[in-house]
Structure 1
Amino acid sequence: MKVAIAGGSGFIGEAITDELLKHGHQVCWLTRDAASAANKRNVEYIQWLNEGDQPENRLEGVNAIINLAGESLSSGRWTPARKSRILESRLHATAEIKRIIRSLSHKPSVLLNASAVGYYGTSTRQTFTEEHQVQPSDFLSQVVSQWEAEADGAGIRTVLMRFGVVLGQGEGALPRMALPYKLGFGGTLGSGRQIVSWIHIRDVVRAVLFCMEQPSLQGPVNFTSPKPLTMKAFGQTIGKVLGKPHYLPAPAFAIKLLLGEMSVMALEGQAVLPQKLVESCFEFLFSSPEASLKDCLLP
């Protein structure tokens, strides 16, 4: 199978690439600068998103496209300029993916387009599945709604991968969440009542391949563990796994002062269940928060 990945050099893209290569698949990365891209074993680099680029000329015969491209949400304060880049980078990349698909003589069988549980907004009371349709209520939900709308109309089976908080070793959100505990002053962020819908990176990778191979799966698919938990319980579990105390709270006003509008990523959340994956008999390797954190945090 030949798989094209946009955003392949990121945390999730690297993990998916490693798994695809391990199973003997052909992988190509769509990149703005193919000439200077570091060689990653047998990955083929295809330049795109620059004026005059025609990546479609090298993508005939591709079986699946995975779109993870977009400016990072957590690389700086959400100034008006950064918010614009966060949205536009996602819309532009997704529109280009659709253009590429339309130009191919032989279409891929599936587009797997990144999305996020931020679609559902925030709540400490409601539990969401893919059946819920909500009106955008904040910046993240607005971005996700527009991103998913842009992915519509690709003309092939499309899976909208609504990622929760992805846990892994060395990358993603977990190292920053665990650092205060490692330094001995971990504690609850904000009220602690906000819900963390999390998933282990290995289950993300397996779920991507599962969706690729299951023709019945399309539309939004929640990439989350079946066992979301509160931020307080999540922090306590980190402390337990690391053998560190959980006692020094970080008040909401301090986090808002430090991060501005981006603080919503730490202070708000939503309980999101992977109903479609469960109904399709996908088996999670990591459904226990403690087991997942042990795998990610311990040698």
Structure 2
Amino acid sequence: MKIAIAGGSGLIGTKLTNYFVSKGHSVFILTRDATNKPVKDHVHYIEWLKDGTKPELDLEGIEAFINLAGESIGDGRWTKKRKEAILNSRITSTRTVIDLLSKLKSKPEVLVNASAIGYYGNSLTETFTESSQPIETNFLSTVVQHWEKEAEKASNLGVRVVYCRLGIVLDASEGALPQIVLPYRLYVGGPLGKGSQWVSWVHIDDVVGMFDLAIEQTEIIGPLNVTNPVPIQMNDFGKTVATILNKPHWIPVPAFALKLLLGEMSTLVLDGNKVLPEKAKKYEYSYRFESLSVALNHILK
């Protein structure tokens, strides 16, 4: 299979590339600069989002397209300028993807577009599945709704569209986990805020597996919650980290301190939602890491 990935140099893109290549597929990574990229079998780098580039010339025959492109939401305080960049980067790149697809004589069967469980809003009491509607309008929910609306335009081209609504992705070196783990390694770990907020987590290997599911299972259309079926509250999450590292779980970090430090971005750790992967279960996805303790043991040890 020939698979294109926009935003393929990040955590998820790199893991997906390695996985698909191991399965014998060819991967075409769209990048702003294809010079000095490592030469690998079955991996091709194609320039896009630059004047004069015509990536569609190299993408005829693509069978699946994965769009991960967009500014990271966790790389700095959410100033007005930063929030505009987070939203605009997703809209611009997705519009470019749709334009690119429109120019292909042979369309891919599926567009798998990254998304986020921030779509649903935050709640301590609600449980969300793919059929749930947003319960509030906040920055992340607004971004995700606009992002998905742009991706949906691919369906007008006869392309099946799946939005992979990502939960908190657990990985050893990137994402939220290293930041959560660091205080415990320094013997100052403890509850973040009230500790009752839900963490809808997923191991990076299951992210890869569920993106693959979105490609292979042709009946999946629209939202796909990329989360573990057993979400956990933050206090219990921290206790599990402490147990695995044999460190104390004792010094709470009050919400006001995190808000002073992170500003509006503090919502990423102070708020949460309980999101269940109803479609993954329906299509009998087999989780590699369904237990948080097993997942963290694999990552942290």
TM-score band w.r.t. shorter chain? over 0.9
Query: What is the aligned partner in structure 2 of residue 171 from structure 1?
Result: 174
- Partner of residue 8, structure 2: 8
Aligned to 2:219: 216
CA drift of 1:173 comes to 1.3
Cα distance in 1 for partners of 2:51, 2:227 equals: 37
**Structure 1: gaps (5+ residues):** none
8 Å contact from structure 1 (residues 119, 141) kept in 2: yes
The residue number in structure 1 matching 2:235 is: 232
After TM superposition, what 4+ stretches of structure 1 lie above 6 angstroms from structure 2?
none
Q: 2:47 corresponds to which letter in structure 1?
A: Q
Aligned residue for 2:28, secondary structure, equals: strand
Matched with 1:201 is 204
Helix, strand or coil at the partner of 2:153: coil
Task: State the distance in 2 between where 1:225 and 1:265 align.
Answer: 18
1:120-135 matches, within 5 Å, as 120-134=120-134
Match of 2:275 in 1: 272
Note if 1:111 corresponds to 2:111. Answer: yes
How far has the Cα of 1:135 moved from its partner?
A: 5.5
Map of 1:146-165 to 2, 5 A cutoff? 146-154=146-154, 155=157, 156-165=159-168
CA drift of 1:55 comes to 0.5
Aligned residues of 1:119 and 1:136 also touching (Cα < 8 A): no
8 Å CA contact 1:190–1:250 kept in 2: the answer is yes
State the TM-score, normalized to the length of structure 1.
0.98
Instruction: Report if aligned partners of 1:136, 1:142 keep a CA contact under 8 Å in 2.
Output: no
CA distance in 2, matches of 1:158, 1:224: 19
The letter for the 2-side match of 1:63 is E
Check whether the contact 1:116–1:162 (CA below 8 A) recurs between aligned residues: yes
Residue aligned with 2:35, SS: helix
Give the letter aligned to residue 265 of structure 1. L
Match of 1:52 in 2: 52
Give the match's secondary structure for 1:98. Answer: helix
Matched residues in 1 for 2:38 and 2:50: separation?
19
Does the aligned pair in 2 maintain the 1:239–1:246 contact within 8 Å?
yes
Q: Deviations over 1:60-119 (max 9, x none)?
A: 001100000000101111110110000000000100111111110000000000000000
- Which letter maps to 2:285? F
Q: Which amino acid aligns with 1:270?
A: N
For structure 2, which runs of at least 5 residues remain unmatched after alignment? none
Equivalent residue letter for 2:224: V
CA distance in 1, matches of 2:84, 2:175: 22
Q: Name the aligned partner's letter for residue 122 of structure 1.
A: N
**What displacement does 1:172 show?**
1.7
In 2, Cα distance between equivalents of 1:148 and 1:264: 21
The sequence identity of aligned pairs, in percent, is 50
Q: Does 1:289 align with 2:292?
A: yes
Cα pair distance change 1:135/1:187, threshold 3 Å:
closer
- Deviation per residue, 1:122-178 (Å, 9 max, x gap): 000000000011255110001001000111120200100000001112222111110
Give 1:28-39 correspondences, 5 Å limit.
Answer: 28-39=28-39
- The answer to whether the aligner puts 1:256 opposite 2:259 as a matched pair is yes
| More off after superposition, 165-174 vs 252-261 | 165-174
SS of match in other structure, 2:272: coil
How many residue pairs match? The answer is: 298
Give the secondary structure class of the aligned counterpart of 2:195.
coil
Alignment match, 2:75? 75
Equivalent position amino acid for 1:74 in 2: G
Amino acid at match of 2:211: V
After superposition, what is the alpha-carbon deviation per residue over 1:174-210, rounded to whole angstroms, capped at 9, x for unaligned? 1111011011110000000110000001111111111
Residue 149 to residue 135, structure 1, CA distance change in 2 (3 Å)? farther
2-side partners of 1:37 and 1:109: how far apart? 28
TM-score (norm 2): 0.97
Contact persistence 2:65–2:112 (CA under 8 A):
yes
Distance 1:40 1:142 in 2: 38
Give the partner amino acid of 1:28.
F
